[in-house]
């Protein structure tokens, strides 16, 4: 794995990637040691220093996002290995939700032609190890409330508010 931690306006963010694409991205942490600790949990192996185009693309997009500018992460490939086929399909569909917009769990299930699978969609999103790049925070409950988020509801609400402000 190749990875690093970097400081942004919201805190320290860690990432690691393979030659295929982004493997994991931490949510902002209060300090560098916590970001490294969380990154090591996600990487499940040694992390080598970055230095390629993919690293620059990711860091530039994260800088834009955390500085309050729209970011798409569209040019950042994701390494989907380790996910079940259903989780991959859900995460790929989630990735298509544009910046500043939301979809409900049910709408995402409908997009996948799996009506009634809102709960399964939510469970699949819980496995997302690349938040922001795969913007699972943009998926909300049918009643308009945020719903769950691996990093905590506060982060989900913060990201949604930031995107509403810019979108």
Clarify whether 94 is annotated catalytic.
Answer: no
Cα→Cα distances 83→24, 111, 147, 155, Å: 12, 19, 22, 24
**Are 78 and 89 contacting, i.e. CB atoms less than 8 angstroms apart?**
no
Asked if residues 23 and 16 have their Cβ atoms less than 8 Å apart, the reply is yes
Q: Which of 14, 23, 28 is nearest to 159 (CA)?
A: 28
Specify the 3-state DSSP secondary structure of 45: coil
Given 4, 54, 136, 160, the catalytic residue = 136
Q: In whole angstroms, what is the distance from residue 63 CA to residue 58 CA?
A: 9
Q: Which residues are catalytic?
A: 136
């Amino acid at each position: 794995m190749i990875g690093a931690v970097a400081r942004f306006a919201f805190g320290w963010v860690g990432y690691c990637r393979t030659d295929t694409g982004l493997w994991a991205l931490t949510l902002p942490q209060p300090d560098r040691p916590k970001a490294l600790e969380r990154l090591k949990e996600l990487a499940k192996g040694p992390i080598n220093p970055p230095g390629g185009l993919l690293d620059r693309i990711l860091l530039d997009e994260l800088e834009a996002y955390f500085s309050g500018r729209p970011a798409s992460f569209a040019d950042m490939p994701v390494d989907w290995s380790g996910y079940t086929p259903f989780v991959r399909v859900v995460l790929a569909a989630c990735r298509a939700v544009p910046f500043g917009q939301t979809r409900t769990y049910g709408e995402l299930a409908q997009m996948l032609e799996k009506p009634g699978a809102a709960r399964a969609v939510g469970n699949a999103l819980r496995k997302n190890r690349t938040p922001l790049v795969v913007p699972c925070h943009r998926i909300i409950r049918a009643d308009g409330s945020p719903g769950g988020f691996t990093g905590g509801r506060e982060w989900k609400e913060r990201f949604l508010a930031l995107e509403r402000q810019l979108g």
